[in-house]
């Protein structure tokens, strides 16, 4: 096996090309890569999220920038830097503009400036002229007073030469152990094979399937201070024995339609698992909770081992008060779940790592499009493109773990000067 260059993609002649406009930590990108795409460029404003993305996607050119401040030419120049031989075509532009302005959770406002980001998505689609685009948002964008926004956006895409399908999909219908309904815009350029959003595959995965194999993090004192621990041979063997087919899929142990680059990682290293310290009173209250019950003081809900997780939320960034996301109570233990357990409920593979702090880590999971759902959408586009994507022969080293430990000011400094192509 050959190791791919950290600087450039090697396979863009045989794999379709995509651009992620609101990348976050990379859930949408991962699913699109798993479908067979090379994601040449990812744009992400938050420097912490951009660092996490760069760690997990060492070949993608990351632009730590505000989408409203960049142009299609900026992205094309970055794509040229990312690929050895790129013919200039972009097959897919995708992304999930921040949705808090449309969300039924919290305040909803027509004047929320974040609502305008969907129109910057439209602007960059028209400038980049891809064959297809996919935009994700909350279902609230299509109801009540926001119906006009939704209709206006659809009309603008149609005027730009795209056939557009708008539909709500539930991640639980695509093998994700979480109820998560999201609105998707899927556009096909006039003259190309039109694409439809995927039909449910009716694969039902439970919370137990997702996390029952993981060791109890309370057994590891070091996880009070770090987010990683090397499992003993015995602990690793027990994890393997308990693993469901879903977990084996996430750990790359069974065959699948996964066409992503293979990452080099240590399966025996448990990551993104920093413990939360609870008071004795909280532990006592959590212990008395029933499945799906909401705790009266913390308002946290206990997961049902044999059911689906409720929607994992992200909380808010520093610009919106730094509110912590509501973290579910573990189905059998008297604590909230870890970031790794949340990632399992979101269909992230175990090699994928998040910022070491629980606050950033949960934000990164909660904001992401579940990779398995993104994969199902991406496969629809690949089929329309009539490209037989192959699993790349290259093995990728993940990035420097220091990228996962930076504070916001440090992450900002890290990106200064890296995106000099932006005017």
Catalytic residue annotation: 99
CB 87 within 8 A of CB 16: no
3-class SS at 28? helix
Give the length of the chain: 423
**Residues 183, 185, 190, CA angle at the centre, nearest 5°?**
165
Close Cβ partners of 108 (under 8 Å, ≥ 6 residues apart): 101, 102, 140, 146
3-class SS at 360? helix
C-beta neighbour count of 83 within 10 angstroms? 21
**Secondary structure E strands in 138-276:** 162-170, 181-189, 229-230, 262-264, 269-270
CB 271 within 8 A of CB 343: no
User: Cα 335 from chain centroid?
Assistant: 25
CB 340 within 8 A of CB 346: no
CB 164 within 8 A of CB 187: yes
What token pair was written down for 116? 């305008």
User: For the chain, percent helix, then strand, then coil, each to nearest 5?
Assistant: 35, 15, 50
Question: Distance (Å, rounded) from C-alpha 340 to C-alpha 364?
Answer: 11
CB 345 within 8 A of CB 313: no
C-beta neighbour count of 13 within 10 angstroms? 12
Any idea which residue has 């909660």 for tokens?
366
CB 197 within 8 A of CB 226: no
**Residues 165, 167, 172, CA angle at the centre, nearest 5°?**
140
Beta strand pairing call for 132-137 and 262-264: unpaired
Close Cβ partners of 15 (under 8 Å, ≥ 6 residues apart): 36, 37, 38, 259, 387, 389, 390, 392
């Amino acid at each position: 096996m050959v190791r791919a260059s950290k600087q450039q993609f090697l396979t863009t002649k045989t794999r379709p090309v995509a651009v992620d406009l609101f990348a976050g930590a990379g859930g949408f990108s991962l699913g699109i890569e798993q479908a067979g795409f090379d994601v040449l460029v990812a744009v992400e404003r938050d420097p912490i999220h951009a660092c996490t993305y760069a760690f997990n996607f060492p070949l993608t050119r990351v632009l730590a920038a505000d989408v409203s401040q960049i142009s299609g030419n900026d992205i094309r120049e970055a794509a040229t830097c990312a690929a050895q031989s790129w013919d200039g075509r972009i097959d897919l532009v995708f992304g999930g503009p921040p949705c808090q302005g449309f969300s039924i959770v919290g305040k909803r406002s027509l004047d929320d400036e974040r609502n305008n980001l969907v129109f910057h998505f439209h602007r960059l689609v028209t400038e980049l002229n891809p064959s297809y685009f996919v935009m994700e948002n909350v279902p609230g964008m299509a109801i009540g007073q926001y119906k006009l926004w939704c209709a206006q956006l659809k009309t603008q895409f149609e005027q730009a030469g795209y056939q557009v399908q708008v539909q709500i999909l539930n991640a639980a219908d695509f093998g994700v152990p979480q109820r998560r309904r999201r609105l998707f815009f899927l556009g096909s350029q006039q003259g190309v094979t039109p694409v439809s959003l995927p039909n449910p595959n009716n694969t039902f995965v439970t919370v137990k399937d997702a996390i029952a194999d993981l060791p109890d993090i309370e057994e590891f004192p070091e996880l009070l201070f770090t987010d990683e621990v090397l499992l003993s041979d015995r602990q690793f063997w027990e994890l393997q024995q308990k693993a469901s087919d879903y977990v084996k899929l996430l750990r790359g142990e069974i065959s699948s339609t996964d066409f992503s680059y293979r990452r080099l990682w240590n399966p025996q290293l448990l990551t993104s698992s920093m413990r939360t310290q609870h008071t004795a009173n909280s532990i006592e209250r959590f212990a008395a909770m029933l499945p799906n019950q909401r705790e009266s003081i913390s308002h946290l809900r206990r997961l049902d081992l044999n059911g689906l997780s409720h929607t994992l939320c992200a909380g808010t960034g520093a610009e919106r008060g730094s509110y912590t996301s509501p973290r579910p109570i573990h189905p059998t233990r008297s604590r909230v779940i870890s970031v790794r357990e949340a990632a399992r409920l979101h269909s992230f593979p175990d090699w994928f790592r998040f910022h070491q702090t629980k606050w950033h880590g949960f934000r990164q999971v909660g904001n992401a499009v579940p990779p398995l759902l993104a994969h199902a959408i991406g496969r629809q586009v690949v089929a329309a493109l009539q490209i037989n994507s192959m699993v790349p022969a290259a093995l990728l080293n993940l990035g420097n773990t220091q990228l996962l430990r930076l504070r916001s000011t440090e992450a900002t400094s890290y990106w200064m000067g890296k995106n000099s192509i932006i005017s």
